[in-house]
Structure formats: structure tokens, C-alpha cells
Structure 1
Amino acid sequence: MVWPIVIMGVLLATIFYMRMKARAEKDRREPDAGLAIMDFGRAFPDEAIRDIHATADEKAYFVRLHDGKAGFMAAHGTHFVCHLIEAGKVNTSNAPSGRGLTVHFADIAYLDGTYEFRSAEIAAEVSLWLLGSFNPQSDFKSLPAT
């Protein structure tokens, strides 16, 4: 009489374990904006995020910072690679789909790629952030007035 209760208990425990394992696996595979913001804050504690846009697959995030700079985060497992974009260290062009950007990072080439967004408007806004982070400075000193 006790064996049916033990068997039912084992079956229920197995089902519960499998559901919890599947949920934990899902959480590990899917990065989110909150985790990205936390990782960026740990990497660059003096930078304040003003706005953030995720790619369509939510595997990468572009951020606009408080002082006009831009940042980038790429998901790697449960953590993010965070990068502060320096002036003149990024090249962008439109992706063939029209909803993305092809980005080349001069200082971290393994982050290069084509990043697709949910709309062309978001891609345009991110490209303006990247353009706004570029502050060209001349190596030439001005000549004295004659």
C-alpha cells in the first residue's frame, strides 16, 4: 500500500525537477536588458546610460551615454562583453536589409558584425549615436595670426 505513494512521489519530484531545469536553462540562454545594464554598470561605473536599444535577437545592445558617448554590449552566455566606443574607433554602414547596421570596431575586431534591429528607425537612431560619439580632433595646432 505504501509503494504506490512512493512511486507517485518520485514521479512528481521528477516532473518538478525537469520543469525547474528547463526554466533555468531558458534563463541562461536568453539575455535581457536588465542584465546588460548591470554588466555595463560593473564594467564602467562612472558612465550613466541614457538610452538603450537591443538588436532583434536581443543578443547585443547599443547604449547612448549621458555625455554623448556610446557603448556596446554583446551577450556571451550569461554575461556581456561591454565596450565603451572611443572616438574614431568604429565604422558603420547600412545592412542590406535596411533594418540593421554593419559595424566594424577598430580596437576589438571580434565584435564586428551585422546587427539587425526591429525597425529601420531604431537602426538610424543607433547610427546617429555612433556618429555622435565621434569627436574628430586635429593633430595640427592653429597657426598664429599674421
Structure 2
Amino acid sequence: MSATRPDQAVRRRAAYRRGHRAEWLALAALMLKGYWPIGRRISLAGGEIDLVVQRWTTIAFVEVKARPRRDDAREAIDAVKRRRFSRAVRSWIGRNSWSAGMTFRADAVFVGARGWPAHVADAFPIEGL
């Protein structure tokens, strides 16, 4: 057994906890803006949607990114992440026929070590919609 494995496990657990904390902060911020939760940590079609929230006739699929500096989080959504996210969104829409006729949007919430989470509506296009 190598000496780095326990360190990796500790880092992985810490990152997991930070991710959960960031998602709860993001959800709280969105609920204060009038969104209500539909789903959380949804894995479909090889991708993951952190939060699914609704406000009136709009369903927002939310990618939450946490970094020590909020501006660094903004750079963390790359093309590969957007493709996987979009694939999961398309799968979610296909499985939830009740959402037909709604407006769909890909939002992002950026969480830093300090300050309130930053919500960006329509942060990137949902590919294939």
C-alpha cells in the first residue's frame, strides 16, 4: 500500500463535503430568489446535474462550482463538462414529460470561500435542445 493513498482518500472526502456544502448554499440562495427545488445530484446518461429548480414556468438546471476564490470557479465549467451536463439535461427532460412546454435553462452558481454565492442565469447553452 502506498503512502499517498490515505492522503488521496482524505482529499476526496474533503472535496465531497465541500461540494455538498456548496450545493446547499447554492440552493439556499436560489430559494431566496423564488426558485423551488425539484431535484439534487441527479446522474443520468453519463452526466450529473447538481440542482434542478423551478420558478414559475422556467426549469433551471444548475451547475454548482466551488473554489477558494469565486472567480476561479467561473473558469471550471469547460466544454467537456457542458457536453456531459447537456446530455444529462436532455435525458432528464425525456423522463419528465410533465415539463413539456416549460422554458429550460442552464444556470450556474459559483461559490467561493467568502461571500454570497453568485447565480448566473442562462450561463451556457444546453447543447442539443
Could you say whether these structures have the same fold, taking a TM-score greater than 0.5 normalized by the shorter chain as the test? no
Alignment TM-score, normalising by the size of structure 1? 0.36
The structure whose RCO (Cα within 8 Å, separation 6+) is larger is 2
The structure whose Rg is larger is: 1
